[in-house]
Amino acid sequence: MLSGMKFLITAGPTREPLDPVRYLSNRSSGRMGYALAGAARHEGHEVVLISGPTALDVPPGVDFIHVETAQQMYDAVHDMVGGVDVAILCAAVADYRPVAVAEQKMKKHAERLVLELERTPDILGSMRSVFGFAGVLVGFAAETQEIEHYARGKLERKGCDMVVANDVSRADIGFDSRENEVLLVFPDRTEALPRDTKEHIALHIVEHAALLHS
Ligand code: PMT
């Protein structure tokens, strides 16, 4: 068994505040990322899990960092990436955040309200170019069409060794479900993992990632 590596895993959604009581977020439950953390620990690896808010228990033996926003997740990954052998970025990070965060709860005056949004930092896209990460890099791709095509584009643009692509237009897999069905996209090939529990899918992903390191 290939054990004893250091894994960094991101999971869950981020929350981008609008005011003290409101935020923009998404339907990620964190299950896929927590299953990856549990699988990596089960395989004998050291694991740091950086997660947005979820209702899940942290798998035993896993180092845990809680974050809320994309910026906090970016900062935590930056702080923890030194010495990491395998990074798996599974979090559903908000791509945009409100430009202005109101200090007080926003009052409803007008019939329509236009929010101005700005891009959040691209954590996966910073791993090689900004953080200088040289280990095995695994990204996720949440797609609704041309899944393999878009995943391969991400693999190449972000310098990944593997991209795990899932179809998030389906209710039975992907976001907030107990199961998933994914394509593992490598530079030279693609492998399909049929529908299964996120725990079983996670074990396959961890085994593939560990093999890429050896
Ligand atoms: O949490 P669950 O309910 O179990 O659902 C699992 C999942 C559907 C969230 C998971 O399987 C998944 O697809 N995660 C990636 C979701 C996503 O945001 O995909 P994306 O195609 O928008 O992003 C591509 C990659 O860039 C991902 O590795 C993402 O973590 C990363 N990213 C995105 C934006 C950003 N600002 N920084 C990033 O690092």
Ligand 1 atom nearest to 139, measured from its CA: 28
Q: Which atom of ligand 1 is nearest to the CA of 174?
A: 8
**Residue 166 designated active-site:** no
Ligand 1 centroid to 9 CA: how many Å?
Answer: 12
What one-character-per-residue DSSP string does 134-203 give? -SEEEEEEEESSSHHHHHHHHHHHHT-SEEEEEETT-SSSSTT-SEEEEEEE-SS-EEEEEEEEHHHHHH
Residue 12 DSSP class? S
Spans of all domains in the chain: 6-99+113-213
Per-residue pLDDT, 2: 74
pLDDT score, position 1: 54
Catalytic residue among 17, 22, 24, 26: 26
Task: Tell me the pLDDT of the chain (214 aa) as tens digits.
Answer: 577 999 999 999 999 999 999 999 999 999 999 999 999 999 999 999 999 999 999 999 999 999 999 999 999 999 999 999 999 999 999 999 999 999 999 988 889 999 999 999 999 999 999 999 999 999 999 999 999 999 999 999 999 999 999 999 999 999 999 999 999 999 999 999 999 999 999 999 999 999 999 7
Q: Which CATH class is domain 6-99+113-213?
A: alpha beta
